[in-house]
Structure 1
Amino acid sequence: MTSAPSEGAITLHRNDLPDNVTFTGSVAVDTETMGLNPHRDRLCLVQLSAGDGTAHLVQIIPTSLGGKGYDCPNLKRVLADPSITKIMHFARFDVAILQHALGITVSPVVCTKIAARLVRTFTDRHGLAALCRDMLGVELSKQQQTSDWGAKELKPEQLAYAASDVLYLHALWDKMSALLDREGRRELAQACYDFLPARARLDLLGYEDPDIFSHRA
């Protein structure tokens, strides 16, 4: 097994991406929040990687802690750029929190979790750690998943965990993309990805439960 990346692969930026950090083609994206309710829980960190072994972590610091809050034009520009494909895992949540917090439309998007559910029907193991282990031989630690991401100073262990969630997404997407082609489900996956910004808006409006696609009365 390959271990998670070292701290040397991580660059932390406070409040926004610097002007000299740009992405073309595709970028792996993940988020850390105070919880799983976009209306209640604030966005704390956005992780990005070009698939080059480096993770750029943008810490969103609220004005009450001396930061700029959601005033992050460079980050917004990357996430909303229609020429850059955003690679995510469980994009439904990440797209929702980014659209709600930053006031942008995040598109186009591909999601490795949706791909896994479409092509790995022989298992119910679709989490990022399981997929990285099974398909890339990479062991990810999830110890910091439920730590306090709202702290003004994040611990090195938190940064390493956050970085690991994007550093392998390009490689994982390559594997998933090949499986979508093999199983003839590329077109279906793309339809799901195209719908993600609207699905996120439905979730934000409260249509997660009851789901408007459900037959339940």
Structure 2
Amino acid sequence: MSDHHATYHYVECPAALAALVERMARANRIALDTEADSLHSYYEKVCLIQLSFEGETFVVDPLAGMNLSPLLALLTTKPLLMHGADYDLRMMRSSFQFRPRGEVHDTQVAAQLLGIQEFGLAALARRVLGTTLTKSAQKADWSRRPLAPDLLAYAADDVRHLEPIAARLLDELRGLGRYEWYRASCERLVEASLRDRPRDPDEAWRIKGLRGLTRHQLAFVRELWLWREHEAQQADVPPFKVLGNAQLRDLALWASAHPSRPLGEGPRLPRNCTGRRLAALEKAIAHARHLPKDQWPELRKSPLAPRQRDHECEKRVDALMSEVASLAQRLGMAPSLLASRATLEAVVARQPRSPGEVLACRHLLPWQAELLMSTILKVLATAPPKE
């Protein structure tokens, strides 16, 4: 295997890959991380796969034209150790249809359940091992080739230290009696990463900062978003590199308020908005201006069911949020790890009246339901507080 650095093996040819797979077969657990080009491409993809086991670290190049099937097939069967696994598993699935069948351990989840507030990998390496990891390459374009040795070394560091970090954190979880909480949380994370997230065409264009806009203004936002999406696809760049969300919103508001003014008098456009792209933008704005009212977007409807929108139910959710915050403080962890507001709204909507019904709430993990059971039953059995 070509060794570009003393502390990792760079795998970029079939022979090196075959040797890696042979060694992986004997591994009990494998630390896994990926690098993708999400900040540089519309059609994002995995550009590096980092693996560490039995004291050695390997950086595999998926863009080198190798057949990765033997590696991926074996990897699905192994227990995996990751940090912030959700993103990496989604990227592995979208790039290679990868679905882990073995246990997945996540050191970020472990740190959060221990109440560690700085749970990034660099912070954990410093806290647990006294090791300083550089994060200077977080915004690198990992799809470019060749990759500099310092970038490969950076990528290798993301998996090299996971085993000793995990060993310490999992021991602490066992000491606090929270290891089963951790395993259930990791299992749910994996399940969520394997679910499809179909894009709702009526929601995809609704960027942040649109509260209070009229249907007429939203028509311009939608047309500009569609224009930006097309341009990003054509150039294979992230949409923000065509036009940022704040710029898009400002341009939509200006265009809706100045129907007869030329675009050159509006907000300043990015330097790359010239020629064909500029002409397409002008066409999108003109299309929005001529849309009949019955084709303007509807205002966003509340995602809450009628029962959840009920004022009394809202007060019950507020009461539960307060109780959750108090319990989380006693446990030394973030309240969101026990239950988010959305979860509590769903629980209130179900109106569980017994311990069994609380445990049946699919929004709660068993350990969360057990911790919150008495609080949920008490709050739902009590009349909402008067204002």
> Under a length normalisation based on structure 1, what TM-score does the superposition of the two structures give?
0.82
- Rounded Cα–Cα distance in structure 1 between residues aligned with 2:178 and 2:42: 34
1:1-217 equivalences under 5 Å are 7-14=5-12, 18-21=17-20, 22-23=23-24, 24-35=27-38, 40-52=43-55, 54-61=56-63, 67-68=64-65, 71-81=67-77, 84-107=78-101, 108-119=103-114, 121=115, 123-202=116-195, 204-205=197-198, 214=343, 215=345
* 2:92 aligned counterpart, secondary structure: helix
Q: Taking structure 1 as reference, are residues 206 and 181 closer, same or farther at Cα in structure 2, changes over 3 Å only?
A: farther
- Rounded Cα–Cα distance in structure 2 between residues aligned with 1:75 and 1:145: 26
Letter in 2 for 1:33: A
The residue number in structure 2 matching 1:64 is none
Question: Any conservation in 1 of the 2:48–2:61 contact (CA below 8 Å)?
Answer: yes
- Rounded Cα–Cα distance in structure 2 between residues aligned with 1:40 and 1:155: 23
Question: Any conservation in 2 of the 1:38–1:100 contact (CA below 8 Å)?
Answer: no
Question: Any conservation in 2 of the 1:29–1:46 contact (CA below 8 Å)?
Answer: yes
Question: Any conservation in 1 of the 2:38–2:45 contact (CA below 8 Å)?
Answer: yes
* 2:153 aligned counterpart, secondary structure: helix
Question: Any conservation in 2 of the 1:98–1:106 contact (CA below 8 Å)?
Answer: no
Question: Any conservation in 2 of the 1:145–1:161 contact (CA below 8 Å)?
Answer: no
- Rounded Cα–Cα distance in structure 2 between residues aligned with 1:191 and 1:37: 35
- Output one character per residue of 1:89-147: Cα deviation in whole Å (capped at 9) or x when no partner: 0011111111221112123210000000001x1x4200000000011111101111111
Bigger relative contact order, structure 1 or 2 (CA pairs below 8 A, ≥6 apart): 1
* 1:19 aligned counterpart, secondary structure: helix
How many matched pairs? 199
Question: Any conservation in 2 of the 1:109–1:196 contact (CA below 8 Å)?
Answer: no
Q: CA deviation at 1:87?
A: 0.3
Unaligned runs of 5+ in 1: 1-5, 62-66
Letter in 2 for 1:186: Y
Letter in 2 for 1:151: R
> Under a length normalisation based on structure 2, what TM-score does the superposition of the two structures give?
0.47
Q: Taking structure 1 as reference, are residues 93 and 206 closer, same or farther at Cα in structure 2, changes over 3 Å only?
A: farther
More helix by share: 2
Letter in 2 for 1:55: T
Question: Any conservation in 2 of the 1:43–1:101 contact (CA below 8 Å)?
Answer: yes
